[in-house]
């Protein structure tokens, strides 16, 4: 097929450049992250962690430069077990931690974590939800204050990242120079030490070999392991052992999953380990699948412009990964032999998902990763033009130089401001604290985004947790939402 030659050329462009330097960067980053994990554990023994590589670099799908690395730091001192004698929340179980769904909605990935053992409640007393707040919630949920000690993931995460921030200047590597971190930036903005970040990972920026223009981004995410599979996911039932790829699913399910602290007492499910296992086996059976995924990421980052003629994307990389998994499990292995036809099949599936506004999360199919928006038609149109070019073009340079603009529909175009007018103005009053400025900035950004959803590409990716979910706006709003749901659902909260 004509597309095969172009895909091969683009695959060469997408591959990580300079293997020798890539290996050196990897070694430096891994040494640094391991040292950071040891340093935090020495400072606070509760935070002894196993460092688990994750993300695109270790999946073998990072493109062009080795400048982003992801790790899960899995607590060794806490885990969610598989067995419990608990049939109601008032009975003590045999687990360290019990997990309860925040709601019965199948699309809700949030959970609460309960510390079961008294000694753990003492150990983590500074990271528990306040008793009066927990009592209010559970009186509504169970009809009485059952005295559950909920683990406040926000406090736990803030404590861990604060330790990490203090250790960072002490960990030195001759090739890596620490520049900044998420928490350091937050403290600079607010003018206050500490604070809880709503994002899941802590992002650290390093300069490579003393050159600040060559930045290495390292994300670390605190997690707890759950050594069983979640009943929220039916992937093991959709693709049982009788399925041609059932063995791949069985191995992934056997990895269990993780929960990550999101905000306050909310934790979120993470499928990172299962995805890592799936991709490893998919790429082993069909090496062309890895090349197809890399090329799709490369095209997504280098082919499209927004209506201001600025670089844009059709979607985020998690969407690309999800489409790959769906296509793989809906086809036979032999259909991946021809990289050209397999790529067209894959990119056509992506087009259809965007056009129809329907891309089920691979693990929880009730979650739609690509709902219809004002920009769905525009993105589908741009992607269709891209598919036509792939089928007609044979030269990578010519293909990449022919940019495709994601043109808004007439309805959307009427609401778009000229670029020179798209400024966020933050008006401050004398004596306003930096946190007030940040609040005004956030509101200004919200106001802009209401009128121009998705103007510059896909939604933001949260790669470690797998999929995109709207953050909880505030603790009180979240509590109100939970209480309202509990009134409708009754007192019996399902344990995951």
- 452 has pLDDT over 50: no
Q: Which CATH class is domain 286-421+455-460?
A: mainly alpha
- 295 has pLDDT over 50: yes
- 372 has pLDDT over 80: yes
- 342 has pLDDT over 60: yes
More confident residue, 331 or 195: 331
Q: How confident is the model at residue 120 (pLDDT cuts 50, 70, 90)?
A: confident
Q: Are 249 and 275 in contact (CB under 8 A)?
A: no
| Residue pLDDT, tens place only, 251-270 | 999 989 999 998 777 888 99
337-340 long-range contacts (CB < 8 A, ≥24 apart) are 337/288, 338/1, 338/4, 339/4, 339/7, 339/8, 339/288, 339/291, 339/292, 340/1, 340/2, 340/3, 340/4, 340/5, 340/6, 340/7
pLDDT of residue 141: 61
| Residue pLDDT, tens place only, 67-111 | 999 999 999 988 776 333 333 333 333 467 888 777 766 566 788
The two tokens of residue 124 are: 């983590």
User: Tokens 């670089």 belong to which residue?
Assistant: 311
Nearest to 166 by CA among 147, 183, 149: 183
More confident residue, 430 or 145: 145
Listed by start position, the domains of the chain span: 22-285, 286-421+455-460
The pLDDT of 481-495, averaged and rounded, is: 38
Handedness of CA 51, 57, 61, 67 (dihedral sign): positive
Which residues have C-beta within 8 Å of that of residue 139, sequence separation ≥ 6? 145
Residues facing residue 121 across a β-bridge = none
This prediction's pTM: 0.81
Parallel, antiparallel, or unpaired for β 266-270 and 304-305?
A: unpaired
Q: How confident is the model at residue 143 (pLDDT cuts 50, 70, 90)?
A: low
Handedness of CA 482, 483, 484, 490 (dihedral sign): positive
Q: Which CATH number fits domain 22-285: 3.30.460.90, 1.10.645.10, 1.20.140.10, 2.40.50.70?
A: 3.30.460.90
Rounded alpha-carbon distances, angstroms, from residue 364 to 74, 214, 223: 23, 38, 20
User: Tokens 């699309």 belong to which residue?
Assistant: 107
Calpha distance 32→87 (Å, rounded): 44
| Residue pLDDT, tens place only, 28-77 | 999 999 999 999 999 999 999 999 999 999 999 999 999 999 999 999 98
pLDDT of residue 444: 42
Calpha distance 225→7 (Å, rounded): 38
For the ranges 186-200, 276-290, 387-401, which has the lowest average pLDDT? 186-200
pLDDT of residue 484: 44
Nearest to 165 by CA among 51, 58, 254, 40: 40
The two tokens of residue 219 are: 């994300």
Q: How confident is the model at residue 393 (pLDDT cuts 50, 70, 90)?
A: confident
Calpha distance 18→2 (Å, rounded): 29
pLDDT of residue 236: 92
More confident residue, 247 or 105: 247
């Amino acid at each position: 097929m004509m597309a095969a030659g172009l895909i091969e050329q683009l695959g060469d462009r997408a591959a990580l450049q300079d293997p020798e330097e890539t290996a050196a960067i990897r070694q430096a980053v891994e040494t640094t992250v391991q040292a950071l994990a040891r340093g935090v554990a020495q400072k606070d023994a509760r935070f002894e962690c196993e460092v688990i590589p994750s993300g695109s670099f270790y999946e073998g799908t990072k493109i062009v430069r080795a400048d982003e690395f992801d790790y899960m730091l899995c607590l060794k001192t806490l885990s969610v077990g598989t067995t419990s004698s608990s049939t109601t929340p008032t009975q003590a179980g045999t687990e360290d931690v019990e997990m309860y769904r925040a709601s019965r909605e199948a699309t809700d990935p949030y959970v609460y974590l309960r510390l079961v053992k008294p000694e753990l409640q003492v150990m983590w007393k500074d990271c528990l939800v306040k008793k009066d707040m927990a009592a209010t919630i559970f009186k509504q949920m169970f009809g009485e204050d059952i005295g559950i000690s909920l683990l406040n993931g926000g406090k736990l995460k803030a404590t861990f990242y604060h330790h990490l921030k203090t250790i960072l200047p002490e960990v030195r590597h001759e090739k890596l120079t620490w520049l900044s971190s998420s928490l350091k930036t937050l403290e600079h903005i607010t003018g206050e030490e500490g604070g809880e970040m709503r994002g899941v990972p802590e992002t650290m920026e390093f300069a490579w070999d003393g050159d600040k223009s060559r930045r290495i981004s390292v994300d670390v995410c605190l997690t707890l392991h759950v050594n069983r599979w979640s009943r929220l996911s039916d992937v093991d039932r959709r693709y049982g052992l009788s399925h041609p790829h059932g063995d791949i699913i069985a191995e992934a399910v056997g990895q269990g999953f993780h929960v990550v602290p999101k905000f306050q007492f909310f934790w979120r499910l993470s499928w990172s380990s299962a995805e890592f296992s799936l991709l490893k086996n998919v790429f082993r059976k069909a090496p062309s699948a890895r090349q197809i995924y890399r090329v799709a990421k490369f095209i997504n980052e280098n082919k499209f412009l927004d209506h201001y003629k600025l670089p844009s994307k059709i979607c985020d990389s998690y969407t690309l990964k999800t489409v790959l998994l769906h296509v793989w499990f809906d086809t036979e292995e032999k259909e991946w032999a021809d990289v050209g036809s397999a790529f067209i099949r894959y990119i056509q599936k992506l087009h259809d998902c965007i056009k129809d506004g329907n891309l089920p999360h691979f693990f929880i199919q009730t979650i739609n990763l690509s709902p219809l928006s004002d920009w769905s038609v525009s993105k589908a149109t741009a992607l269709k033009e891209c598919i036509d070019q792939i089928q007609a073009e044979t030269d990578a340079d010519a293909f990449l130089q022919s940019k495709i603009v994601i043109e808004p529909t007439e309805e959307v175009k009427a609401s778009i401001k000229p670029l020179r007018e798209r400024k966020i103005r933050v008006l401050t009053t004398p004596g306003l604290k930096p946190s007030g400025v940040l609040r005004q900035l956030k509101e200004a950004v919200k106001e802009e985004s209401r009128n121009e959803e998705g103007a510059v590409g896909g939604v933001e990716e949260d790669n470690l947790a797998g999929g995109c979910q709207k953050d909880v706006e505030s603790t009180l709003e979240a509590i109100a939402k939970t209480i309202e749901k509990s009134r409708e659902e009754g007192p019996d909260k399902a344990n995951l």
